[in-house]
Chains A and B, each alone.
Chain A
Amino acid sequence: MAESAVVPAVLLEGITKRFPGVVANDEVELRVESGEIHAIAGENGAGKSTLMKILYGMQKPDEGTMTVNGLMVDFSSPTAAIEAGIGMVHQHFMLADNFTVLENIILGAEPMSGGDRIDFAEARRRILEISETYGLTVDPDALVETLGVGERQRVEIIKVLYRGAKILILDEPTAVLVPQEVEALFHNMRDLKSEGHTILFIDHKLDEVLEIADSITVLRRGRTVVTVKPEDVTARDLAELMVGSELPTPETRESTVRDDVVLEISGLTVEGSETEVSITNIDLSVHAGEIVGIAGVEGNGQQELVEALLGIRHASSGSIHLDGEDIGHWKVRRIREAGVGYIPEDRHRRGLLLDAPLWENNMLGRQQQEPFVKHGFWIDPKAARAHTEDLIDRFDVRTPNVEVPAHALSGGNQQKLIVGRELSADIKLLIAAHPTRGIDVGAQAAVWDELRAARAAGMGIILISADLDELIGLSDRIRVMLRGQLVAQLDPSEVTPRDLGSYMTGARTTA
């Protein structure tokens, strides 16, 4: 590129953005060199998204100056930012499902010929050109609804490039991708860089940040902490910079496994429907004080296993024993009351009543039990509120009070509420599905602590997670789930994430 290396692509100085009662960005400094991949790391709520929205013209800063390629800018809208060569790929894709890839890309920027006719040939030519230059493979005529997440993301990136962006903002691009797709994305990002583009991206996952970024700026509580080079820091250093304190790890080495078996599944088979995986012939036991990790690419029967354990679906053969009792044909409520806790994989779908106050959410799953309900029928709001107040103290759920509806809380706090709710009940078995998904490092550490404490107290835990470090760190044993079957049993002290990955994809099948 022609620009001199000393003129930064983006220079933000003293950016301050206040929302009523909150300072989202407090004199943030950010210098992004031209042609580099620059990561913005920070906890949820550290102000990363706000900063990117300001740079993309979606929000106006209260104070501070922005320079793009040496020129002072003041964007009134994303349109102005696009004109200055900045493009943003949002975390939640903005594509029309019933349009083709081509239609989505040109939507709003259609090349015209002869006045009022869209020049599809020209559009196709330019899309294919972009696609080839950066190795972003897409089929322009495919309907977006038929595409996977990784392909949709490529469409979004092409959309931005099509509009002439030289500076790309990617908001948590890897959050929705599986490891292989992440690698493909990183490949694309390197190609973009070599063609002279500048990339700014937000990410939670520190190993990814270290792998791809040329420089990393850490934000904490709305302020710039530091900008570092990846070769100078470790993932642990970064995490500590983000949280601002010493960091716990998911390690749990000394065994607390007891002799008594909490859960015994044998020969469990559950029929799936056409679109679902059926699980076949599963044998699994969980001891008191043991965390059994289940690794696997999502959609290999984990969901069906969880639902069978909870009694939402019933087995066609095999048995499930909880503490020696056959619960195979029990209803959900009876199973939950017998001592099964559940941290759902999707807290909004399975775990919360978003419009209900926190104290009512705290009752969910125990809406017929003391102290929330007297005589199994009459709700005792006073006791339920008191219980919830204790819970938000103990589990550090940050909320003004217990009357706040659940949707008002940040993701991490919602998750802490759910974890607290399940662990404060008298349970023998906890099914924890992706317990730290989408929450920041601080909340993640808190959840790990609680799981470890529950394990030490003799709870049996089934941990399903896509975070392989979490699985390896927390589990006493790891089983791998593939196409509805448990295919391998691994010792977490010996297995590496890479090994685990090859079991998960079926490249290796026996230990």
Chain B
Amino acid sequence: MKSRLLVLAPPVASLIMAFVISSIVLLISGANPLTAFSNIIEFGFRPNTLVETLNWSTPLYLSAIAVAIGFRMNLFNIGVEGQYIIAAFMAAQVGHVVSLPPVLHVSVIIITAMVVGGFWAGLAGLLKVTRNINEVISTIMLNSIAVGGVVSYLLGVWDVPDPGLDTALGDIPPSGQFPSLNWLSDAVVGETRSDTWGFVVIAIVVGFAYHYMINRTSLGYDLRATGANPSAAEASGVDPKRTIVIAMVLSGMVAGLVGLPELLGASHSYSLRFTQGLGFGGIAVALLGRNHAGGIAIAALLFGWLGRASGVLEVRGDAPREIISIITGVIMLSVVVAYAIAERYKRIEEAKAAASLTGAES
């Protein structure tokens, strides 16, 4: 009972704190917080917003899982951004060029994205183990190389059609598109303007795979042990270099999937309008979700929802939509604080429990 309360208290407390602080910010900016929040909630629970929330939570979720794999062994893969963009780009081109039967076509695209993402992140891993280059620096630089270098260069090389300013790769034919889940969303919330992207199914599979890999395999154990205590892990037989490369590659493979919900569900081609920033969003989601598959899902849905529902503030003139950035920022901060407090409390409780058996406290 007590322990369950301990699990729920921090997120609830931080949401309340975020609500209070955001209200103050809204008041300062001259808006009525009650109107603003009721507008967000009213708009946020419209069927179309819910579908879009799910759609945009999917890439955030994948991105956060990619980041979390690194976090579990104290690797900070800040390069999910570049990994998913270069992966989506390559996958879009492969999807456009090859012609295969439906399921196979999609599979080839997915595998391409994972291989490219894994390779791109693996570079950072190799740099770390061979040249001792901090992965934060190398992945940031690889982001720029991916987006500014490789993608720009290949757009030129492949001589893609250039309708106006929006340079785009060719379309992926229907055999390479991911089936939508409209039938399901229609049944649950009614018909909506937006399609429901089917890729969420893959994200759920990835979530389970992540959970089992981390908690139930010796590889996951090695990753966690290295993250928790590198010296002890090494003495226990974990090869630190190998584990770093494996973790980076796995992280990159998941990162490679981040662009696919959009690519296979809506845009069907890579263009300069392709959504960016999901890699950085994933860092926040992974932190909020405490690197836990389920926690990340909730955090991704929350962030996805806030992102979608916030548009209404601007439309109705309540407040600039940047207020949502403030809210998400405040949630992040309060979560960190709330968990730190809960952690301290838990440690004290555990120490007491163990001490009561040894007879005395020293």
Residues of A within 8 A of B (CB): 19-25, 44-50, 221-222, 310, 312, 331-337, 342, 344, 349-356, 360, 363-365, 367-368, 373, 376-379, 381, 398-400, 404-405, 407-410, 412-413
Residue of A nearest to B217 (CB): A377
Partner of B361, one of A24, A334, A344, A413: A24
What are the residues of chain A within 8 A of B361 when measuring CB–CB? 19, 22, 24, 45, 47, 50
Q: Are A408 and B236 in contact (CB under 8 A)?
A: no
B299 to chain A, nearest CB (A): 21
Q: Give complex CA distance A22, B238 in Å.
A: 39
Q: Are B350 and A332 in contact (CB under 8 A)?
A: no
What are the residues of chain A within 8 A of B215 when measuring CB–CB? 379
Partner of B221, one of A24, A45, A360, A398: A360
Task: Name 7 A/B residue pairs within 8 A (Cβ), A-sorted.
Answer: A20-B352, A332-B237, A353-B232, A354-B228, A367-B238, A379-B217, A381-B216
Q: Give complex CA distance A50, B359 in Å.
A: 13
Q: Are B235 and A353 in contact (CB under 8 A)?
A: no
A208 to chain B, nearest CB (A): 19
Q: Give complex CA distance A312, B234 in Å.
A: 7
Residue of B nearest to A353 (CB): B228
B97 within 8 A of A: no
What are the residues of chain B within 8 A of A404 when measuring CB–CB? 350, 353-354
Residues of B within 8 A of A (CB): 215-222, 224-225, 228-229, 231-239, 347, 350-362
What are the residues of chain A within 8 A of B216 when measuring CB–CB? 378-379, 381
What is the interface of chain B mostly: helix, strand, loop, or mixed?
Answer: helix
Number of A-B contacts (CB under 8 A): 146
Q: Are B225 and A367 in contact (CB under 8 A)?
A: yes
Q: Are B218 and A356 in contact (CB under 8 A)?
A: no
Q: Are B362 and A49 in contact (CB under 8 A)?
A: yes
What are the residues of chain B within 8 A of A46 when measuring CB–CB? 360, 362
Q: Are B236 and A336 in contact (CB under 8 A)?
A: yes
When A49-B362, A379-B216 are in contact, do A22 and B354 touch as well, CB less than 8 Å?
no
Q: Are B217 and A378 in contact (CB under 8 A)?
A: yes
Q: Are B354 and A400 in contact (CB under 8 A)?
A: yes
When A332-B239, A336-B237 are in contact, do A221 and B360 touch as well, CB less than 8 Å?
yes
7 nearest CB pairs, A to B: A333-B237, A21-B356, A408-B350, A408-B354, A365-B236, A353-B228, A24-B361
Q: Are A356 and B224 in contact (CB under 8 A)?
A: yes
Q: Give complex CA distance A236, B42 in Å.
A: 78
Q: Are B362 and A405 in contact (CB under 8 A)?
A: no
Q: Are B358 and A45 in contact (CB under 8 A)?
A: yes
Q: Give complex CA distance A333, B225 in Å.
A: 14
A21 to chain B, nearest CB (A): 4
When A333-B239, A367-B221, A376-B218 are in contact, do A45 and B359 touch as well, CB less than 8 Å?
yes
Partner of B231, one of A25, A44, A350, A356: A350
When A50-B361, A312-B234, A364-B225 are in contact, do A377 and B219 touch as well, CB less than 8 Å?
yes
Partner of B355, one of A19, A221, A351: A19
Residue of B nearest to A409 (CB): B354
What are the residues of chain A within 8 A of B218 when measuring CB–CB? 367-368, 373, 376-379
B296 to chain A, nearest CB (A): 20
Q: Give complex CA distance A356, B236 in Å.
A: 15
Q: Are B225 and A44 in contact (CB under 8 A)?
A: no
Q: Are B362 and A344 in contact (CB under 8 A)?
A: no
Q: Are B357 and A337 in contact (CB under 8 A)?
A: no
What are the residues of chain B within 8 A of A373 when measuring CB–CB? 218
Q: Are B352 and A342 in contact (CB under 8 A)?
A: no
Q: Are A22 and B219 in contact (CB under 8 A)?
A: no
Q: Which of A360, A377, A410 has the most CB of B within 10 A?
A: A410
Q: Are B362 and A48 in contact (CB under 8 A)?
A: yes
What are the residues of chain A within 8 A of B351 when measuring CB–CB? 407-408
Q: Are A45 and B353 in contact (CB under 8 A)?
A: no
What are the residues of chain A within 8 A of B238 when measuring CB–CB? 332-333, 367
What are the residues of chain B within 8 A of A355 when measuring CB–CB? 228
B218 to chain A, nearest CB (A): 5
Q: Give complex CA distance A409, B360 in Å.
A: 12
Q: Are B362 and A363 in contact (CB under 8 A)?
A: no
A42 to chain B, nearest CB (A): 9
Residue of A nearest to B346 (CB): A405
